[in-house]
Structure 1
Amino acid sequence: MNKVVNPQGLRTFDGVFTPTVLTILGVVMYLRLGWVVGNAGFVDTLAIIFMAHAITICTALSMASMVSNIEIGAGGAYAIISRSLGFEIGGAIGIPLYFSQAFSVAFYIIGFVELWLSFFPTHSPTLVALATWVVLAGVSMKSAQLAFRVQYFVLAAIAASLVSFFAGPSLSVVEPVWRGAYTQAGFWETFAIFFPAVTGILAGVSMSGELRTPRRSIIIGTLTAIATGLVVYVAMAYWFAHQAPESALLTNTSIILELSAWKPVVVAGILGATLSSALSTLVGAPRTLAALAVNRLVPFPRFLGKRAADNEPRNAVLVSSLLSLAVLMAGNLDQLAQLLTMFFLTTYGVINLVVLIEQGSGIISFRPRLQVSILVPLAGFVGCILTMLLIDKLFTLTTIVVVLFIYSILARRENKIDAPWGDVRGGFFTAITEWAAQKTLALQYHPRVWKPAVLAPAETPEDLRRISRFVGNLLSPSGRLYFLSFHQSKLRDAQLAAQYEELLKPLRDKKLFMRKMVVHSREDVFEAHLYTALQILLNSFLPPNSILFTISGEAEKQQRMARIHQMIRPLNIGLLYLYIHPKLAFGQEKTVHLWLRHRSPNMNLAVLTALQLTRNWDAALTIFRVIDDPAEVSATTGELELFVEQARLPVSTRVRVLTGDYCEHLGRIHGDVTILGMPPQFDQMIDLAMHSPGTVLFVADSGLEDATV
């Protein structure tokens, strides 16, 4: 369906085809194509033309496929990218693209001035440049409709100049220039010189917000303009090779004038082509800027995104015109011109990448009316990258750095807005996750890949508040948290969700993997619901490997915890029972005491947990062991020191071997947290917790851990 979004908007011919074909049939066609034929010969020139057009055709087909799948809106290439990869990536490409467009106006004007001075050498270059800028800025400020009416005259002048060229005389050619000697440049350098001729395919796309039927117009107008340009370039290359000798083609960049029947017509075509490229770019660039402003990706968004009563983005036009004037006054811009070409190629490459991701991820929402083979965007993407490297490796690297820098700024900005249409990133990462899950499940588990993945059930927000900091220190920097809560009141859904989200925010800020599950329940049977939820989680991909409970001083809660313990103990999951001392809490978070019994079945998880807390607290770790025979102190100390080395614990780890009563030592020695292996009986654990002089964490292995690997 070709939806009419702007009944008064531009049609395909005036809104897309004309600006695109005028940008393609520009200065390179008039002043560089003859040199390319003289240097490379007609056969190799054909290869150059078709290779360059292959990239733009692939990009145009990819763009057409995307446009036939989405409502593009204003912003052209930026809109296509942002609607697929999100505002941040769209802005990272769109902002450099906008500057490339705005700066290009200055380059076109400079080119126009140079051509003008070759015919009128007595004129002042500064005055000609300023006069040209004033005319272009005035036309673009008035309206896009007026700008495109002016382009009709330019199109007519170019058509007349082509007729004059093909009707012109031959310069005594003995043998057509079929093969070139590459006396002035190699093949790839010649390709790089020609390639800017075909980089005008975004001229019409930039007008997407002004078109009557954007979907239809962009597809038909862009592809038709590219096809027209391809035919013209091939025909002209043949005629250059047939009508002029190699020496003339190499030495005279204005050879087209010598080959034309009516020189004034060709002069008008050359000047008109240069001028129209500047005008179409000056009309398109503000549309990109206005779209960026609407999505708050640039400073002063309200000012730059504002449109006049006739829907013209005049503030954006004014800023773009002044920016182009500043660049125009800067002087020599050859190196910057090369960098700007890179940004155009980056945009083309990302458009191809978008379609490649959409097709490759298999998302059902990607069902464009115009279907293309996945090889099309792949070829376009690879072609853009290779061309960038071909032109200049340093500028390619600079472009990538600039795009990544802008993305990093946009990703951290505070005034983000959510895209109402969604984007492909979720599907892309889902596809990667599915692939990774299949590969992971096919591999045999090994304790070496263990990392803390804790399920933390809580009945109230207060329960979560008490442990949230401890959980963060237990999991950082790369652990996983599974938060689970049950409640009965539907009226509290939003309120509870907001409270939990606020408490979990510090953990999200640490970039921890987190899954929050707040479940509405008709019955208040916490342990039954927990047991069911735990079994479901343990059978999912990336399950938790530990579960964390807090030990309460209330007898009723202790009894319920005992029932839960009996239910979940047989499951393949580590157990963590935390008793927080009511007065000391976690103290200064500077000392971790790890008590290890000889051949304890719960040693591995205890050691790994102690290591996590030691690292994240920057704490001192001390390992304790209580034995009966004082004569064994030295041997036991050596055994523990060897274990410290095997487990690669911090070199500052202390070892203390004590003799006497185990519970007596526990009652007088405590750190900011004391980690113990879980006793055989639940009641023993409660008794130790209630008589502890500090905070205690009881640990039971799941069998998935090994502290020595």
Structure 2
Amino acid sequence: MKKVKETKNKGLNTLEGVYVPTLLTILGVIMYLRLGWVVGNVGLWGALLIIVLAHVITVTTTLAMSSMLTNIKIGAGGAYAIISRSLGMEMGGAIGIPLYFSQAISVAFYIAGFSELWVTFFPSHSIILVGVIVWAVLTALSIISTRLAFRVQYFILAAVILSIISFLIGPSLNDGPMVLSGTMSEASFWATFAIFFPAVTGILTGATMSGDLANPGKSIIKGTFAAVVTGFVIYIFLAVWFARQAPQNLLLSDTMIIFKLARFDFLIIAGVMGAVLSSALSTLVSAPRTLAALAEDRVIPFGPFFSKKTKKGEPLHAILLSSLISLIVIVLGNLNSLAVLLTMFFLTTYLMINLVVLIEQGTGISSFRPTMAMSIFVPLVGTVGCFSVMLLINPLFTGVTIITIIVIYSLLKQKNLVSPFGDVRSSIFVTFTEWAAQRIMQTPYHPRLWKPAVAIPVESPEDFRRISRFVRNIIFPSGRLYYMTIFPETTMDETQKEAINDVLQPMIAERLFVQKVFVQSDHYGKMLIQALQCFENSFLPPNMVLLTISDDAEKRDRLKTLINDLRHTKISVMCLWLHPKFGLGSERKINIWLREKSRNNDLAVLSALKLVNNLHSEITLYRAVGHEHAKNKVEKELLGFIEEARLPGNTQIKVVTGNFYQLIQEESADLTILGMPGKYEDIIKLLDTSPGSLLFVASGGFENILA
């Protein structure tokens, strides 16, 4: 207990670690130099509406973040940690990496803003030199001690408070009524909203320091809420004061009107410079924490290097890199074109925090039990609000942001990151699948929905390997494979499991639907029938069984029994016989023998089409007739069938007369597809006469080539 207490005492408390830096980020340049213009452009009522709408988004995001913090132990990394522990390290990295660069570059923007203000009052000073000096001082503070850096902000907070007091006791320049309504002559309502919104985007400042707080769960919630509420009250009060103290024309024409409205303008100067400096310092301290958290999870290269910390717990290498990035941006000069993109990445982070809570709460997983529960309406409003604001600010940059995140996610996905934390990605798919299953099982089946879903009973992985190419070409790209096998022992041997995984890996690599069905049984045929009966009323059941015909006499006897048993089930059956010498040959020619009005014709043609599309082979439709004078009529029927069934343009037809078993030998092909004979002995007879591989099909009534 004593050790825990000592550790906690080393961390930052709520006031210095969360409340003060978050509040100072909120009370920034926009409060001093843009709030008056907002009131002048849209009037007091419009300004109040903008402030309320902006805070709806920040409050919902804060509530969502608070809900997550009462459900998980956040650790270091702030927003990155929240997202990665819920949506996986890939999505956490896809958000965290742009967030880190946004933080690092934002330091330069804050310092540049400070430098521009400084040069306004001291024109002889070099703006680059001022920026570099400020950068050096802030970097030194962040390296020496986080606690020292945050305690400096007490003095800045005092300067901000004094500047607000100076504004409130200053002279009035308005002889007329309050500016209650605006003409929106300089910008539309939503454009004005977009200009104001960055003022309230500092709510993650405290959260990013999660790894340095004594009690992050409680401190982030209390400190962030207190800062947001304080900022909201101040903005409302100052908006009313601007509308009261200055006429509309001055509010619109002079963005620095606050200096004229203050009793002591030097206090405003100190306040605005302090606010900008505080934002730079907070961001310079928090950005390396995000980088260090990414490094600890090996999301970025050189993880051990950037995650290394000093004895005081400072991520020195991460601080140096973040400082270097900000210095480069300062030296390059004005990069205002990036400002909107940076805001987008911050907004995307807020959106993802809301989305995480929306998913966890919406999927109903039992692990989501926050002590701070709330209505699902809260994260929903936050998610929609953040995305709407992004579109309002800049649709183009919204698209760039989304594409950037997708690219980073794809690259991280290739790294096969192993997360020690369970995430909820699978619950999203489970929930969607459950919803879809309910809808599908209530919807009558129609042949238009058919796609190959093949159950294959397999005695050994090597048996499957022989037909794996054929199976792949039957189901690719969107069919389903059910690999079914039995094992007589109590548990399956691990070596056998590995062999099965190995033989299925090529199909899994192609993202095909592959489901393994293992059944403990001593009876092969009985197992198959029972398993198929279990599947019958399930979601996404197989619609056909693929059996293979062996040269072994004992296996042929078992196959005969199995085929007879399957005739009583509601499933289609396919029996494949691969020629022992030629296999599927060159895979170029497929013959389909069609019988007049046979229910097997649809399955035969649909199976051939799958093979044709994947093997680029050609189909020839065959029909055997009893008399020569029937040929013309049947040929016309087959040509009409080709057109109606939308078969490939190179499909051939051939109507022949004579002995069927003799014709099969003469009209050879790489694969011949035909309806399954009623007698098993007829199947064996055809094997003995065919010069190529055969596929027998027996439809269960699921298929319709004309659908």
> Normalising TM by the smaller chain, what interval?
over 0.9
Aligned residues: CA RMSD:
2.0
2:35 maps to a residue whose letter is L
The residue aligned with 2:190 is 188
Does the alignment pair 1:452 with 2:452? yes
**Secondary structure of 1:86's partner?**
helix
Contact 2:58 2:201 in 1 (8 A): yes
CA distance in 2, matches of 1:97, 1:293: 14
Is residue 695 from structure 1 mapped to residue 693 from structure 2 by the alignment?
Answer: yes
Over the matched positions of the two proteins, sequence identity in percent amounts to 52
* Aligned counterpart, 2:301: 299
SS at match of 2:696: strand
Deviation, 1:184, is: 2.8
Assess if the C-alpha contact under 8 Å between 2:172 and 2:245 holds in 1.
yes
TM-score, with length taken from structure 2: 0.96
* Structure 1 CA distance for aligned equivalents of residues 189 and 352 of structure 2: 26
Bigger mean CA offset, 399-408 vs 679-688: 399-408
Q: Aligned partners of 1:425, 1:437: CA distance in 2, in Å?
A: 18
Tell me how far apart the structure 2 counterparts of residues 645 and 247 of structure 1 sit (CA, whole Å).
75
Q: Deviations over 1:538-560 (max 9, x none)?
A: 12111100001111111111111
Cα 1:649–1:170 change in 2 (3 A) is: same
C-alpha offsets along residues 625-663 of structure 1, whole Å, 9 cap, x if unaligned? Answer: 222322322322222222111211111011122221111
* 1:169 and 2:159 are equivalent in the alignment: no
Residue 27 of structure 1 pairs with residue 29 of structure 2: yes
Q: C-alpha deviations, 1:198-255, integer Å up to 9, x for none?
A: 0101111111222222211111111111001111111222222223333333333222
- Of residues 90-99 and 304-313 in structure 1, the stretch that sits farther from structure 2 once superposed is 304-313
Deviation of 1:7 (Å): 5.5
**Matched-pair contact (CA < 8 Å) for 2:170–2:261:** yes
Please name the residue that 1:549 is paired with: 547
Partner of 2:224: 222
Shift of 1:450: 0.6
Match of 2:79 in 1: 77
Following TM superposition, by how much is the alpha carbon of 1:415 offset from its aligned partner in structure 2, in angstroms? Answer: 2.5
Output the CA distance in 2 between the equivalents of 1:621 and 1:144: 74
Q: Is the 8 A contact 1:108 1:274 kept in 2?
A: yes
Q: Following the alignment from structure 2 to structure 1, what is the Cα–Cα distance between the partners of residues 75 and 586?
A: 56
Q: CA deviation at 1:145?
A: 2.2
CA contact (8 A) 1:452 1:475 kept: yes
CA deviation string 1:592-626 (max 9, x = no partner) = 12112222231111111011111110111112222
Gaps in structure 1 of 5+ consecutive residues: none
Change (3 A) 1:674 1:226: same
Q: Please point out which of 271, 276, 279 is paired with 1:277.
A: 279
Q: Deviations over 1:350-377 (max 9, x none)?
A: 2212222222222222221111212211
How far apart, in 1, do the equivalents of 2:380 and 2:463 lie? 52
Corresponding residue of 1:534 = 532
- Contact kept, 8 Å, 2:603 with 2:704, in 1: the verdict is yes
Normalised by the length of structure 1, the TM-score is: 0.95
Provide the residue aligned with 1:581 in structure 2: 579
How has the CA–CA distance of structure 1 residues 519 and 656 changed in structure 2, closer, same or farther, with 3 Å as cutoff?
same
- Secondary structure of the corresponding residue to residue 655 of structure 2: strand
CA distance in 1 between counterparts of 2:533 and 2:479 reads 20
Deviations 1:299-319 (A, max 9, x none): 333333333343322222222
Q: Deviations over 1:32-60 (max 9, x none)?
A: 11222222222221111111111111111
Deviation at 1:509, TM superposition (A): 2.0
The CA deviation at 1:174 is: 3.8
| Structure 2: distance between partners of 1:83 and 1:597 | 60
Counterparts of 2:258 and 2:543 in 1: how far apart (Å)? 76
Aligned equivalents of 1:474 and 1:84: distance in 2?
38
Match among 133, 143, 146 for residue 144 of structure 1: 146
Aligned-partner Cα distance in 1 for 2:695–2:320 = 66
State the distance in 2 between where 1:309 and 1:567 align. 74
Question: How big is the shift at 1:669?
Answer: 3.4
- The answer (yes or no) to whether the contact 1:296–1:415 under 8 Å persists in 2 is no
Report what 2:208 is aligned to: 206
Q: Do 2:128 and 2:330's aligned partners in 1 also have CA atoms closer than 8 Å? A: no
Q: Which residue does the alignment assign to 1:464?
A: 464
Compared CA separation, residues 277 and 485, structure 1 to 2 (3 A)? same
Do 2:83 and 2:353's aligned partners in 1 also have CA atoms closer than 8 Å?
A: yes
**2:111 match:** 109
What letter corresponds to residue 75 of structure 1 in structure 2?
A: G
Q: Does 1:674 align with 2:672?
A: yes
Quote how far apart the aligned CAs of 1:3 are.
Answer: 12
Deviation at 1:401, TM superposition (A): 2.2
Match of 2:500 in 1: 500
Query: Is the 8 Å Cα contact of residues 553 and 690 (structure 1) preserved in structure 2?
Result: no
| Alpha-carbon distance, 1:143 to partner | 3.3
Report the Cα offset of residue 95 of structure 1.
1.9
- Please give the secondary structure, in 2, of the residue aligned with 1:652: coil
| Pair 540,492 (structure 1): closer, same or farther in 2 beyond 3 Å | closer
Aligned-partner SS, 1:241: helix
What SS does structure 2 have at the residue aligned with 1:684?
helix
Question: 1:702 offset after TM fit, Å?
Answer: 0.6
Q: Give the CA deviation at 1:446.
A: 0.9
Q: Which runs of 4+ in 1 moved over 4 A?
A: 2-7
Which residue of 1 is the match for residue 255 of structure 2?
A: 253
How many angstroms apart in 2 are the aligned matches of 1:696 and 1:5? 74
Identify the residue that residue 431 of structure 1 maps to in structure 2.
Answer: 431
Please list every run of 5 or more consecutive structure 2 residues that lacks an aligned counterpart in the other structure.
none
Flag the 1:672–1:295 CA change in 2: closer, same or farther, 3 A: farther
* Greater displacement, 465-474 / 297-306: 297-306
Q: How big is the shift at 1:396?
A: 1.9
Say how many residue pairs are matched.
704
- Number of the residue aligned with 1:604: 602
Give the C-alpha shift of residue 117 in structure 1. Answer: 0.8
Q: Which residue of 2 aligns with 1:94?
A: 96
Q: Distance in 1 between matches of 2:147 and 2:530?
A: 66
| Residue range with higher mean Cα deviation, 625-634 or 68-77 | 625-634
CA deviation profile, 1:452-497 (whole Å, cap 9, x unmatched)? 0000111111112112221110001110111111113457532222
